[in-house]
Amino acid sequence: MEILTNTDVREAAQIILSKTELRPSIACICGSGMGNLVDILEDSFTIPYADVPNFPVSTVPGHVGQLVFGNYKGKCCVFLQGRTHLYEGYAPNKIVFPVRVLRAIGVDILIITNAAGALNETYKTGDLVIVKDHINIPGFCTCNPLVGITDESMGDRFPAMSDAYDAELRTLARKTATALDIDHHEGVYAALCGPNFETIAEARMFKILGADLVGMSTASEVVAARQIGLRCCVVSLVTNCVTMDYKSQEKASHNEVIEVGQSRASDFQKLISNLIGSVTATSRKNSKSNVYSSNGHMSTFSDLQI
Active site residue 72: no
Is 32 annotated in the active site? yes
Is 139 in contact with 231 (CB distance < 8 Å)?
A: no
Query: What is the enclosing helix (H) or strand (E) of 239?
Result: strand 231-241
- Catalytic residue flag (residue 87): yes
Catalytic-role residue among 6, 25, 27, 32: 32
Q: Which of 49, 85, 134, 153 is catalytic?
A: 85
Peptide bond into 195 cis (omega under 30): yes
For the question of residue 216 being annotated catalytic, the response is: yes
CA-CA distance, 294 to 194, in Å (whole number)?
36
Count Cα atoms within 13 angstroms, Cβ side, for 140.
Answer: 8
Residue of 12, 13, 27, 115 marked active site: 115
Among 58, 63, 177, 274, the one annotated catalytic: 63
Active site residue 185: no
Q: Which of 88, 90, 91, 153 is catalytic?
A: 88
Q: Which of 161, 202, 254, 256 is catalytic?
A: 254
297 in active site: no
CA dihedral 252, 254, 256, 262 (to 10 degrees): 150
Residue of 12, 164, 216, 224 marked active site: 216
**Residue among 217, 273, 289, 290 flagged as catalytic:** 217
134 is catalytic: no
Catalytically annotated residue among 93, 144, 240, 274: 240
Asked if 37 and 28 touch (Cβ cutoff 8 Å), the reply is yes
User: Is 120 an active-site residue?
Assistant: no
In degrees and rounded to multiples of 5, residue 101 shows phi and psi of -70, -35
Which of 44, 54, 71, 87 is flagged as catalytic? Answer: 87
Is 198 part of the annotated catalytic residue set? no
| 63: exposed, middle or buried (Cβ count in 10 Å: 0-12, 13-18, 19+) | buried
168 catalytic, yes or no?
no
**Catalytic residue numbers?**
32, 63, 85, 87-88, 115, 216-217, 240, 254
